[in-house]
């Protein structure tokens, strides 16, 4: 994170960089945040190396959950300003590569006095300073012209104005054109070649440096100097200071000596600016790239007709989340080109509704997607970004804990239930009432009878803790007992039942081909259906007894 007087779009001045809580690698994987990272880093013009750098930065931002409401709102305001100013975004987009290049400059190499004025290093240092001056000027002009409202954008604009107004920077702006003109003054070299009696070349020397390129027909001298092939000619300049036989190339050595007389004054002048660095710009390029990536991602979702919103930041002590028409953005981004419509749902945590939800319903009915949507929305909110919902009011959490059955952790002597119990125990050893806990099919590694008793204790523990939680389970009996759990277990928040709904009209039919249409992917606060969905899964795949009997009769086997 940028420190000191570095310019930043993500951090207000004097904000504590410690007001974050890390998101574990396990939670990152369970929430499937990789597509979000890719969308935030999306830029067709970026090189593979640069794209990887942007993805690392985006992952770092999403993995450091902000707990300071002021910082969250600071970032939201910057993103809102950018969304409202397409022309500014277009201007800033063109400046991101330059800002990223400035951040890449190795200080040990670039910012020391040029006591040994190597030609390449002096030219590179001059190019670096030119890039710095040009980028600062263009960025400053773009921000001033846009007149942004967000404090983050105004702070950067003020910082750039202050930088440009410093005596050292003003001197740099004045001197660079003259230094570039000096360095670029040599455009050609006139070489004299001595020939022997048989017209064989014997020696060559540099006659003069020219200020204009030499044009004309490539003749004998061009061929003698190796123009046809790199391994032929009197003095192959393409090979640097050594000839093909390894002997010193005196012609190239003389040329470098003469050019040194041009570069020397430039190197001396650049020494005056040895202390000029890009430190103040720091991570500005990475931050700007992330925010512009967020703008592109939100615009893609918006063009697909999906809602996005700037969430209201509630106090952490409220322990609430109220989202209208929420959805899982990673899934949505993967289906933008498909005709499938996204189903949105309400996500509500609070004392009035429930803080702990037991979610049941048919397989592939949207339970995991719903649970993941709740976690992803919390991550985006605490990264200071907008969330995939029509409206949202959310409290920051101090941690997100997940338990999804997606990873194998086989260890000798431990069964699946042992490993699940170990992970659940670790969650309760760390979680607080201000945490978010997402459990997907926990305790599925044992019999239904044993799992029900264990799950009942787990849900009671969640109510006692007071954390926001979703427990996805196939144990419909557990969901039917939520009121009994509320009555028997102390806590300041209720346990409620969520159900992945079916279209009752369709489910009443007998045609197995209608099975796929039965799942609405709507999640509603209501009691469980109380029936197992195994029969419906069997029908969908054609393995119910009636279907098997019909199949065997058709095959003349029954």
Question: Among 236-240, 259-263, 303-307, 338-342, which is the least confidently predicted range?
Answer: 236-240
Q: pLDDT, tens digit, for every residue of 19-42? A: 899 999 999 999 999 999 999 998
Q: pLDDT, tens digit, for every residue of 380-412? A: 999 999 999 999 999 999 999 999 875 555 544
pLDDT at residue 223, rounded to an integer: 55
Pick the CATH number of 307-531 from 3.90.320.10, 3.40.605.10, 3.40.50.300, 1.10.287.3610: 3.40.50.300
Question: Among 154-168, 221-235, 327-341, which is the least confidently predicted range?
Answer: 221-235
Cα distance between the two ends of the chain = 72
The CA distance from 102 to 245, in Å, is: 41
Question: Among 102-106, 191-195, 221-225, 443-447, which is the least confidently predicted range?
Answer: 221-225
pLDDT at residue 229, rounded to an integer: 55
Which residues are CB-neighbours of 146 under 8 A, at least 6 positions away?
85, 87, 88, 91, 153
The CA distance from 101 to 131, in Å, is: 9
Mean pLDDT comparison of 200-209, 269-278, 479-488, highest-scoring range: 479-488
Question: Among 106-110, 197-201, 544-548, which is the least confidently predicted range?
Answer: 106-110
Which of the pair, 442 or 499, is modelled with greater confidence? 499
Q: Which pLDDT band holds residue 512 (cuts at 50, 70, 90)?
A: very low
Q: Contact, 267 vs 179, CB < 8 A? A: no
pLDDT at residue 464, rounded to an integer: 93
Domain spans, the chain: 20-183+277-291, 188-271, 307-531
Q: Which pLDDT band holds residue 516 (cuts at 50, 70, 90)?
A: very low
Q: Which pLDDT band holds residue 44 (cuts at 50, 70, 90)?
A: low
Model pTM score: 0.82
pLDDT at residue 413, rounded to an integer: 42
**In Å, how far from its chain's centre is CA 323?**
23
SS3 for 466-528 is CCEEEEECCCHHHHHCHHHHHHHCCCCCCEEEEEEEECHHHHCCCCHHHHHHHEEEEEEECCC
Residue 216 has pLDDT above 60, yes or no: no
**In Å, how far from its chain's centre is CA 101?**
18
The CA distance from 417 to 445, in Å, is: 5
pLDDT at residue 515, rounded to an integer: 43
Mean pLDDT score, 461-468: 94
Mean pLDDT score, 238-262: 58
Residue 224 has pLDDT above 60, yes or no: no
Q: Which of 480, 494, 484, 470 is nearest to 529 (CA)?
A: 480
Q: Which pLDDT band holds residue 146 (cuts at 50, 70, 90)?
A: very high
Q: How confident is the prediction for the chain on average, in pLDDT?
A: 83
């Amino acid at each position: 994170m940028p420190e000191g007087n570095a310019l930043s779009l993500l951090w207000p001045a004097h904000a504590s960089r410690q007001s974050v809580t890390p998101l574990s690698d396990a939670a990152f994987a369970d929430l499937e945040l990789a597509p979000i990272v890719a969308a935030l880093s999306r830029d067709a013009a970026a090189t593979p190396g640069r794209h990887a750098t942007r993805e690392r930065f985006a992952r770092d931002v999403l993995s450091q959950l902000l707990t300071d409401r002021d910082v969250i709102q600071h970032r939201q305001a910057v993103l809102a300003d950018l969304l409202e100013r397409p022309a500014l975004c277009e201007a800033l987009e063109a400046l991101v590569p330059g800002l990223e290049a400035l951040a890449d400059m190795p200080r040990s190499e670039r910012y020391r006095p040029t006591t040994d004025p190597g030609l390449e290093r002096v030219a590179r240092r001059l190019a670096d300073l030119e890039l710095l001056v040009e980028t600062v000027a263009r960025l400053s002009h773009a921000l001033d012209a846009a007149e942004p409202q967000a404090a983050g954008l105004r702070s950067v604009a003020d910082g750039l104005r202050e930088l440009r107004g410093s005596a050292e920077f003003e001197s740099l702006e004045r001197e660079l054109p003259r230094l570039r003109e000096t360095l670029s003054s040599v455009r050609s070299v006139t070489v004299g070649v001595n020939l022997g009696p048989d017209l064989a070349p014997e020696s060559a020397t540099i006659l003069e440096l020219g200020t204009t390129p030499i044009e004309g027909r490539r003749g004998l001298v061009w061929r003698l100097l190796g123009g046809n092939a790199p391994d032929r000619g009197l003095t192959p300049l393409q090979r640097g200071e050594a000839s093909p036989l390894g002997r010193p190339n005196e012609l190239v050595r003389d040329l470098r000596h003469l050019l040194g007389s041009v570069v020397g004054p430039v190197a001396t002048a650049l020494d005056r600016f040895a202390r000029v660095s890009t430190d103040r710009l720091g991570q500005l390029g990475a931050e700007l790239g992330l925010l512009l990536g967020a703008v592109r991602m939100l615009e893609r979702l918006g063009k697909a007709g999906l809602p996005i919103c700037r969430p209201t930041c509630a106090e952490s002590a409220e322990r609430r989340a109220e989202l209208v028409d929420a959805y899982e953005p990673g899934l949505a981004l993967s289906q933008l080109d498909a005709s499938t419509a996204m189903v949105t749902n309400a996500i509500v945590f609070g004392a009035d509704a429930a803080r702990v939800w037991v979610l049941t319903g048919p397989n592939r009915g949207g339970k995991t997607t719903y649970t993941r949507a709740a976690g992803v929305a919390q991550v985006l909110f605490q990264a200071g970004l907008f969330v995939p919902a029509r409206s949202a009011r959310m409290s920051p959490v101090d941690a997100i804990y997940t338990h999804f059955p997606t990873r194998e952790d086989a260890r000798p002597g431990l069964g699946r239930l042992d490993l699940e119990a170990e992970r659940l125990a670790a969650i309760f050893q760390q979680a607080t009432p201000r945490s978010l806990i997402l459990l997907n099919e926990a305790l599925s590694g044992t019999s239904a009878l044993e799992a029900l008793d264990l799950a009942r204790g787990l849900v009671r523990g969640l109510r006692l803790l007071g954390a926001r939680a979703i427990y996805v389970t196939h144990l419909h009996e557990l969901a039917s007992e939520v009121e009994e759990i509320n009555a028997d277990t102390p806590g300041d928040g209720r346990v409620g039942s969520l159900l992945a709904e079916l279209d009752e009209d369709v489910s009443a039919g007998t045609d197995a081909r209608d099975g796929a249409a039965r799942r609405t992917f709507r999640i509603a606060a209501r009691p469980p259906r109380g029936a197992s969905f195994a029969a419906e899964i069997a029908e969908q795949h054609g393995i119910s007894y009636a279907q098997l009997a019909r199949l065997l009769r058709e095959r003349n086997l029954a």
